[in-house]
Amino acid sequence: MEAATHGADHFAELRRHAGDEHPLPEPLVAELRALLGDRLATTRQVREHHGTDISSYPVTPPDAVAHARSTEEVVAIVGLCARHGVPMIPFGVGTSVEGHVLATRGGVCIDLSQMNRVLEVNASDQDARVEPGATRKQLNAHLRDTGLFFPIDPGADATLGGMASTRASGTNAVRYGTMRENVLGATVVLADGRVIRTGGRARKSAAGYDLTRLFVGAEGTLGVITELTLRLYAIPEGMSAAVCAFPTVAAAVDSVIEAIQCGIPIARVELLDALTVGAINRYSKLELREAPTLWYEFHGTPRGVEEQATQMQEIARSHGGLDFAWATRPEERSRLWQARHDAYFACLQLRKGSRMIATDVCVPISRLAECIALTQEDIAKASMPIPLFGHVGDGNFHLMILVDPDSQADCEEAWELNTRLVRRALAMGGTCTGEHGIGLGKREFLVEEFGEGAVGLMRELKATLDPANLLNPGKVV
Amino acid sequence: MEAATHGADHFAELRRHAGDEHPLPEPLVAELRALLGDRLATTRQVREHHGTDISSYPVTPPDAVAHARSTEEVVAIVGLCARHGVPMIPFGVGTSVEGHVLATRGGVCIDLSQMNRVLEVNASDQDARVEPGATRKQLNAHLRDTGLFFPIDPGADATLGGMASTRASGTNAVRYGTMRENVLGATVVLADGRVIRTGGRARKSAAGYDLTRLFVGAEGTLGVITELTLRLYAIPEGMSAAVCAFPTVAAAVDSVIEAIQCGIPIARVELLDALTVGAINRYSKLELREAPTLWYEFHGTPRGVEEQATQMQEIARSHGGLDFAWATRPEERSRLWQARHDAYFACLQLRKGSRMIATDVCVPISRLAECIALTQEDIAKASMPIPLFGHVGDGNFHLMILVDPDSQADCEEAWELNTRLVRRALAMGGTCTGEHGIGLGKREFLVEEFGEGAVGLMRELKATLDPANLLNPGKVV
């Protein structure tokens, strides 16, 4: 089955075909079993788990799940699937939000979660070599005594391989960049079984085509990442976090624009609308004022942090900022940011039994206030609760459209809202996805954003690297 | 003619064939003439100028030079050359150092220096849209009243298109990244005449394959860049520069390693050996102590800068730093950095009539002191003067091997030294080129660095984008 390519039809189509069986060739199952033993799973429960992400798409299971433990095993699995012409879908922990892991054409899910070792930490060089199944929290726990940290933090505790594959970012990107800037190199198994290294440990290199960036963001459609070299950072000497409420979302956004333009090297600056703050208060037992709010974090030397925070406070005040509550103790800071990362779960409680359709546009920051204001007009007319929050320092914000996943009307309304928002962002020089990726849901927007010429080139790259179209087929292009 | 692929043979081979003529098909000349009028040049002088870079390679002229003034003209030129099966070589101002612009198979040089407009500056979003022939100094002059600057600064006043194509960096990369991190998007003319946009103005995007990074560093072999969107930065409120001499190169390097590990966000930190300092003193009329020296620059808030500088000074002292001379006035700072950028010309004076063979390895910073120490043993045995300097905050340093370009013995000695150095760097997890690119001179090292598998994939990408192998053929892969 191929997913339909327009709007709410995705959902209807997926729902119709989610239970389809694509029996695997018997010999393939036998060969995989011989290779992996009980690390090949074909039970309904395991398959359904691997056909699910955190979007509202219906469960779309693969026909088998192969748990790999080494690059060599991935090579063998890829070789077998290729010989039998069976699709393969790399899988971490299933926290993506655009249907990336859904087995829309059946096939074998390559589960990399058992390849989760931190292989090497070079504290002097501030880099680490990890297997793709290690999660961001696991890496940071491993780094605990080194004085270093890995800054990229999507809401979920995603695997680093999944984060690389979706070009993830999170709350720290305004200061530390995204996975694009923080993957130094990767080991990749190609569709023909070749194993390549795309980069070394040097901080910069002008050697050849940038293969690393070709696989970062490719969503598993060009190869299977089996190792990553990542950049780490010294934990800053000084750190402080603060929360400030504003009379309106526009005032909050304007203050951020001014701060960025002044070159304040703010490490995190998150916007949450009143609805989101309320949901977080209830879910994480906080008592924040239920108003549009910015959450900040400053990193640097102790005096530098003080200076940044003072400047920010002045700017906030001049935009009507109501108060500036500090969280300086590490436990307070952790509690705050954990609550921010739990915003997804907090917001789901706003509508019982709902699933979310998350939007993810990113616009040049000068257009952000306008983009949000127009979007709020849409929200006001919507029939469901729609919390708004985002990484405003990057110009990136999300709506969490809470839909009844069984309601075609809900899905259609959400899709239409998302479409309006994406087109608004594109007209402002923005992108349809700041950090979630294309997956199933944004393929048509990719064409609107880049045009047929560039997307045609992407398709040619796909055909060059995966001529039989077996690596996560039907995603991205 | 095809350049030989081993060692000093490059030079001999190029020298033998540099005067070869590859008469262009008459109809092509007529069609280009009809398109461009007197912006098509075929005189010996113009052709020789366009077959020259700042390396020691012999002049290897193209058969004609086409001065383009628009994307549409580039499309037309590419279409005509493709139809006649004639090679095309994009050209900026010819300041590359690895033979990138040499017409080793003849053909038409596409000179983009007349496409040098700054098309748009978005001060609020800190980005600019430029034509590829604009130079870095021209862009910064244009930005003069905006409070913004573009930080990437290879020694020469290169064009931004050339800088993107070689993935250039310079003295600010330790703080601001390289062209890889600072190109937001590009307009590219492909070999088949298609014009694509690879990215918009959003600060981050997870939309589709990273086409921007595919062309950054491709050295004109995958397409012709005709427009760039670049990231700009707020000129920091506080800035100060300093110079400190050390008893040994090793002591200087160790102090930098410590500073990086402490997370001091130093903006520039350049190492110059005693020979280089002497050459600069004479060329730029400075009176620095002729010892291994670090040149620093700090950016931030006034107090932040003070704090960074104090920390750095303490670290330098603990590594035997001899003095710490400040340049706080803007004119002093400019004079210092202009002298640093003129190091190439200054060093050429160390040996009359010489040309340089520049090395460009970059290693993980923990290996830098050791790499430099072993390299200094090689330098001590060499028959020619070899100044050493570099961007030590990145682990990147250069030798400027001053050769008599007519001496085969010199070229062989230089090539052997370079080969030893590259292999040393690769064994340490480094790269054969931190910022100069592959061009002609490092193709064999590309294979040593990445292996046949990855370079094979690069060749497949080249074949996909340029199946007739007409875009700067024989370079990179």
For chain A, percent of residues with pLDDT exceeding 70:
96
| B124 contacts in chain A (CB < 8 Å) | 257, 261, 364-366
The pLDDT tens digits for B94-133 are 999 999 999 999 999 999 999 999 999 999 899 999 999 9
**Tens-digit pLDDT profile for residues B427-448:** 999 999 999 999 998 999 999 9
What per-residue confidence (pLDDT) applies to B15? 66
Q: Please count the other Cβ atoms lying within 10 Å of the Cβ belonging to residue B310.
A: 12
Nearest to B464 among A201, A222, A460 (CB): A460
* The pLDDT of residue A328: 78
Q: Would you say residue B1 has pLDDT above 50?
A: no
Question: Are B451 and A196 inside 8 Å of each other by CB?
Answer: yes
Question: In CATH, what class is A9-111?
Answer: alpha beta
Q: Residues A154-177, buried b or exposed e (16+ Cβ, 10 A)?
A: bbbebbbbbbbbbbbbbbbbbbbb
Contact B450 A301 (CB under 8 A): no
Backbone angles phi, psi at B46, to 5 degrees: -65, -40
Q: Which two tokens stand for residue B219?
A: 């050295």
Inter-chain CB proximity B207 and A433 less than 8 Å: yes
Three-state SS string across chain A, please?
Answer: CCCCCCCCHHHHHHHHHCCCCCCCCHHHHHHHHHHHHHHEECCHHHHHHCCCCCCCCCCCCCCEEEECCCHHHHHHHHHHHHHHCCCEEEECCCCCCCCCCCCCCCCEEEECCCCCCEEEEECCCCEEEECCCCEHHHHHHHCCCCCEECCCCCCCCCEHHHHHHCCCCCCCHHHHCCHHHHEEEEEEECCCCCEEECCCCCCCCCCCCCHHHHHCCCCCCCCEEEEEEEECEECCCEEEEEEEECCCHHHHHHHHHHHHHCCCCCCEEEEECHHHHHHHHHHHCCCCCCCCEEEEEEEECHHHHHHHHHHHHHHHHHCCCCCCEEECCHHHHHHHHHHHHCHHHHHHCCCCCCEEEECCCECCHHHHHHHHHHHHHHHHHCCCCCCEEEEHHHCEEEEEEEECCCCHHHHHHHHHHHHHHHHHHHHCCCECCCCCCCCCCCHHHHHHHHHHHHHHHHHHHHHHHCCCCCECCCCCC
What average pLDDT is seen over chain B? 94
- Greater model confidence, B304 or A251: A251
> Please, where in chain B does CATH 3.30.70.2740 lie?
350-427
Say how far apart CA B450 and CA B335 lie, in whole Å. 40
Q: Given this model, what pLDDT does residue B47 score?
A: 97
Q: Are B363 and B253 in contact (CB under 8 A)?
A: no
Using an 8 Å CB-CB cutoff, list chain A residues near B460: 464-465
Q: B167 — alpha (psi -120 to 50), left (phi > 0) or beta?
A: left
- The mean per-residue pLDDT over the stretch B338-360 comes to 93
Contact A197 B124 (CB under 8 A): no
Is the model's pLDDT at B7 over the cut of 70? no
In this model, does residue A64 exceed pLDDT 70?
yes
The band of B4, judged by pLDDT with boundaries at 50, 70 and 90, is very low
pLDDT at B201: 95
Residue from A183, A457, A460 to probe the interface with B (highest B Cβ count within 10 Å): A457
Type of residue numbered A436: H
**Inter-chain CB proximity A201 and B430 less than 8 Å:** yes
Mark yes or no for CB contact B461/A257 under 8 Å: no
In this complex, do A362 and B204 lie within 8 Å of one another by their Cβ atoms?
yes
Say which residue, A315 or B326, is predicted with more confidence. A315
pLDDT of residue A9: 63
Contact state of B210 with A196 under an 8 Å Cβ cutoff: no
Residue A4's pLDDT is: 37
Chain B residues lying within 8 Å of A263, measured CB to CB: 233-237
Architecture of domain B238-346: 2-Layer Sandwich (3.30)
Q: What is the pTM of this model?
A: 0.96
Contacts of A122 in chain B (CB under 8 A): 364, 366
Q: Which residues of B touch A431 (CB under 8 A)?
A: 200, 202, 204-207
Is the model more confident about A215 or about B406? A215
> Which residues in chain A have Cβ-Cβ distances shorter than 8 Å to B265?
300
At the topology level of CATH, where does B118-234 sit? Answer: 3.30.465
- Report the gap between the CA of A278 and the closest CA in chain B (Å): 29
- Binned at pLDDT 50, 70 and 90, residue A2 comes out as very low
**Looking at the predicted structure, is the pLDDT value of residue A7 above 80?**
no
Contact check, Cβ <8 Å, A236/B263: yes
pLDDT reading at B3 higher than 60 = no
CATH annotation of A351-427: 3.30.70.2740
B188 Cα to chain A: minimum distance (Å):
10
A&B contacts, CB < 8 Å = 297
**In chain A, what residues touch B234 (CB-CB under 8 Å)?**
261-263
- When pLDDT is cut at 50, 70 and 90, the band that residue A5 belongs to is very low
pLDDT, residue A327, reads 86
What per-residue confidence (pLDDT) applies to B262?
Answer: 85
CB contact under 8 A, A208 and B307: no
Closest CB to A301: pick one of B197, B237, B304: B304
Whether the predicted interface score ipTM is above 0.90: yes
Closest Cβ–Cβ partner in A177, A204, A364 for B202: A364
Residues of chain A with CATH 3.30.465.10: 118-234
Q: What is the mean pLDDT of chain A?
A: 94
pLDDT value at residue A300: 87
pLDDT exceeds 60 at position B5: no
Q: Which of B122, B304, B457 lies at the smallest CB-CB distance from A364?
A: B122
Judged against a pLDDT cut of 80, whether residue A16 lies above it is answered with no
Show residues of chain B in contact with A146, CB under 8 Å. Answer: none
- Between CA B230 and CA B235 the distance in angstroms is 16
Give the nearest partner residue to B202 out of A211, A311, A363, using CB atoms: A363
pLDDT band at residue B2 under the 50/70/90 scheme = very low
Q: Is B65 helix (H, G, I), strand (E, B) or coil?
A: strand
- Cα distance from A33 to chain B (closest Cα, Å)? 29
Asked if residue A320 has pLDDT above 70, the reply is: yes
Average pLDDT over residues A136-164: 96
Residues of chain B with CATH 3.30.43.10: 9-111
pLDDT at residue A143 in the model: 98
CA distance A367 to chain B (A): 9
Which positions in chain A touch B173 (Cβ < 8 Å)?
A: 204
pLDDT tens digits for range A374-408: 999 999 999 999 999 999 999 999 999 999 988 99
| B242-251 residue pLDDT tens | 999 999 999 9
* pLDDT on residue A10: 65
Q: What letter does residue B235 receive in the DSSP assignment?
A: P
Indicate where chain A has its CATH 3.30.70.2740 domain(s).
351-427
Give residue B370's pLDDT band: very low, low, confident or very high (50, 70, 90): very high
CA of B280 vs chain A CAs: smallest distance (Å): 27
- The residue type at B139: L
Q: Provide mean pLDDT across the span A50-63.
A: 92
Fold of B350-427: Alpha-Beta Plaits (3.30.70)
| Interchain pair A207, B127: CB under 8 A | no
> Of B263, B435, B453, which is closest to A195 when you measure between CB atoms?
B453
